[in-house]
């Protein structure tokens, strides 16, 4: 993680927060660009995603209360400097998906359009955030390879999405995207520092992505089988 900070009078702003802010802006620009030409859908989708992502940020930041309640009660300032970590990210992701699913039904917009916009913005965020990590983090060899692998994976998947943009409003394409993203993350996490091996040489994060990949692969096989039977 980036430890350096910008000192501006009484304020101390970590480079990590600067990286997050610029990465979020890049993600927002990507969302708008992806929805270009869809004037009837652009505003409601952008509003829904922007609102839920702001809520997700608050959940990630303050979910530390859920995961470390004793520490927070003993020291309320703990909230200022710590977040919910990876568990907070998982909780936020679940909230985002549930909210967007119900919004898609309410607005009668297919959920997969929301999913495609969200995926494009996520890859843009990963690219910019990882670049900031490489610039400001003084990385070790392992962390350098991890950040570099994240950049390469996100760029490849984002280019793939743009090359098949219209197809990414279908569940099959989103399923394949999640499959390849999960596989990429499994390999990328081998470069991550301080990963704790849990089972079969894999960390808990890798096991989560392996489970997601296997689910996506099962869905892909099922879809192929159904298509074959119909033909």
At residue 3, the pLDDT reads: 47
Whole-angstrom Cα distance, residue 223 to residue 131? 37
Query: Is residue 207 exposed (0-12), middle (13-18) or buried (19+ Cβ within 10 Å)?
Result: middle
Residue 202 clears pLDDT 90, i.e. is over it: no
In angstroms, how far is the first alpha carbon of the chain from the final one?
52
* DSSP assignment string, 170-184: SHHHHHHHHHHHHHH
Work out whether strand 197-199 and strand 202-203 pair parallel, antiparallel, or are unpaired. Answer: antiparallel
Provide the percentage of residues in the chain whose pLDDT is more than 70: 86
Residue 149: name the closest of 181, 177, 195, 174 by CA: 181
DSSP symbol at 37: T
Query: Which carries the bigger pLDDT value, residue 143 or residue 59?
Result: 59
What pLDDT digit, counting tens, does each position of 11-36 carry? 556 677 788 889 989 999 999 899 88
Residues 17-56 as b/e (b if ≥16 CB within 10 A, e otherwise) read eebbeebbebbbebbeebbeeeeebbeebeebbeebbeeb
The whole-angstrom separation of Cα 150 and Cα 141 is 14
Question: Cα(82)–Cα(63) distance, rounded to whole angstroms?
Answer: 10
Domain ranges of the chain: 1-138, 140-231
Please give the pLDDT value at position 25. 92
Question: Per-residue pLDDT tens for 111-160?
Answer: 999 999 999 999 999 999 999 888 877 666 667 888 999 999 999 999 99
CA angle 195, 196, 199 (to 5 degrees): 120
Contact 213, 182 (CB under 8 A): yes
Instruction: State the average pLDDT for the chain.
Output: 83
**pLDDT interval class at 1 (50, 70, 90):** very low
- The pTM score is 0.83
In this structure, are residues 34 and 59 in contact, taking their beta carbons and an 8 Å threshold?
Answer: no
The mean per-residue pLDDT over the stretch 193-209 comes to: 81
């Amino acid at each position: 993680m980036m430890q350096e900070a910008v000192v501006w009078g009484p304020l101390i702003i970590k480079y990590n927060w600067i990286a997050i802010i610029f990465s979020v802006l890049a993600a927002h620009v990507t969302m708008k660009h992806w929805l270009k030409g869809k004037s009837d859908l652009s505003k409601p989708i952008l509003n829904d995603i922007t609102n839920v992502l702001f809520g997700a940020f608050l959940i990630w930041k303050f979910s530390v209360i859920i995961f470390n309640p004793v520490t927070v009660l003993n020291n309320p300032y703990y909230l200022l400097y710590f977040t919910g970590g990876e568990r907070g990210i998982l909780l936020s992701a679940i909230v985002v998906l549930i909210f967007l699913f119900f919004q898609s039904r309410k607005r009668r917009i297919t959920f997969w359009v929301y999913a495609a916009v969200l995926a494009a913005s996520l890859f843009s965020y990963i690219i910019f955030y990882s670049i900031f990590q490489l610039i400001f983090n003084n990385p070790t060899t392992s962390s350098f390879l991890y950040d570099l692998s994240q950049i390469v994976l996100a760029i490849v998947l984002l280019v793939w999405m743009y090359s098949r943009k219209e197809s990414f409003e279908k569940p099959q394409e989103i399923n394949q995207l999640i499959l390849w993203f999960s596989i990429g993350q499994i390999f990328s996490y081998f470069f991550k520092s301080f990963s704790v091996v849990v089972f079969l040489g894999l960390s808990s994060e890798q096991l989560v992505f392996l489970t997601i990949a296997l689910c996506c692969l099962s869905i892909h096989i099922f879809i192929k089988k159904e298509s074959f039977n119909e033909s």
